């Protein structure tokens, strides 16, 4: 069966979801989350993708990026997935796939949809019951976009910048977006975008193993 082509357009934001193979844990220790973000930053620069929002969950990641051309996003994900899997396999002395073979992605075409996707990504740990507020989760871009935490990875999109001219007012305006819940229609539209040909994977709980002894990356 031929693969379904991913929708990609130069300069149009893309919501990317990449899940662990068979829903296994991809991140098992804090330094692995940090290593993924470091790899993401380097690969984003090389592939000319702008990263606007992210969240690293135990067994999957969500990214909101703007690719510079049709091949940028694929180059970004290939580099990060391969390098991270190699390091993980070395640490835990295993072979085989860490990630699902293909990431899912969907175009984000409207300003309102873009900001809803921002919120959807950074609210993932809250929906999963891991934290009560997105600021309490370390491995997302919420503290950067909502509190002004410095980052060399995240680049604000024009839609985010238009929230306010003054940086402090912009942070306040962004935080205020989180005072209301995403509507069921927004949730369905966001989830439908990156589902891919096989549909949205079922939710599952994956145990986290102990940290290995091999330095990570």
pLDDT tens-digit readout, 80-119: 999 999 999 999 999 889 998 789 999 998 888 999 999 9
Residue with tokens 């702008």: 50
Alpha carbon of 102 to those of 98, 190, 194, 198: distances in Å? 12, 18, 11, 11
Q: How far apart are CA 108 and CA 189, in angstroms?
A: 10
d(CA 82, CA 105): 18
- Residue 147 buriedness (CB in 10 A; 0-12 / 13-18 / 19+): exposed
- Characterize the bridge pairing of strands 49-56 and 14-19: unpaired
Identify the pLDDT of residue 189: 86
If phi over 0 gives left and psi between -120 and 50 gives alpha, with beta otherwise, what is residue 93?
left
pTM, full prediction: 0.86
Residue 154: phi and psi, rounded to 5, are -80, 130
Query: CA 57 to CA 61: how far, in whole Å?
Result: 6
Low pLDDT (below 50) residues in the chain? 1-2, 196-213
pLDDT at position 8 is: 62
The confidence score (pLDDT) of residue 23 equals 87
DSSP β-bridge partners for residue 119: none
pLDDT of 177: 96
Measured between alpha carbons, how far is 72 from 47 in angstroms, rounded to an integer? 5
Could you tell me which residues are beta bridge partners of residue 62? 17, 55
- At residue 199, the pLDDT reads 39
For residues 119 and 182, is the Cβ–Cβ distance under 8 A? yes
Structural domains of the chain in order of their starting residue, each with its CATH number: 14-192 (3.30.70.1290)
Is the four-CA dihedral 194, 81, 157, 163 of positive or negative sign? Answer: positive
């Amino acid at each position: 069966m031929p693969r379904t082509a991913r929708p990609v357009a130069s300069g149009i934001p893309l919501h990317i979801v990449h899940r662990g193979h068979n829903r296994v844990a991809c991140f098992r220790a804090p330094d692995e989350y940090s290593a993924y973000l470091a790899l993401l930053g380097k690969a984003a620069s090389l592939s000319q993708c702008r990263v606007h929002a992210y969240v690293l969950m135990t067994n999957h990641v969500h990214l909101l990026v703007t690719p510079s051309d049709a091949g940028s996003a694929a180059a970004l994900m290939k580099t990060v997935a391969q390098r991270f899997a190699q390091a993980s396999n070395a640490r835990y002395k295993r072979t085989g796939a860490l990630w699902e073979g293909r990431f899912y992605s969907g175009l984000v075409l409207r300003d309102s949809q873009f900001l809803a996707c921002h919120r959807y990504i950074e609210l993932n740990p809250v929906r999963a019951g891991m934290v009560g507020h997105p600021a309490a989760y370390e491995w997302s871009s919420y503290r950067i976009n909502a509190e002004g935490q410095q980052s060399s990875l995240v680049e604000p999109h024009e839609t985010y910048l238009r929230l306010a001219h003054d940086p402090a007012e912009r942070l306040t305006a962004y935080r205020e977006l989180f005072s209301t819940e995403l509507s069921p229609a927004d949730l369905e539209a966001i989830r439908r975008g990156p589902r891919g040909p096989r549909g949205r994977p079922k939710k599952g709980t994956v145990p986290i193993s102990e940290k290995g002894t091999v330095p990570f990356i």
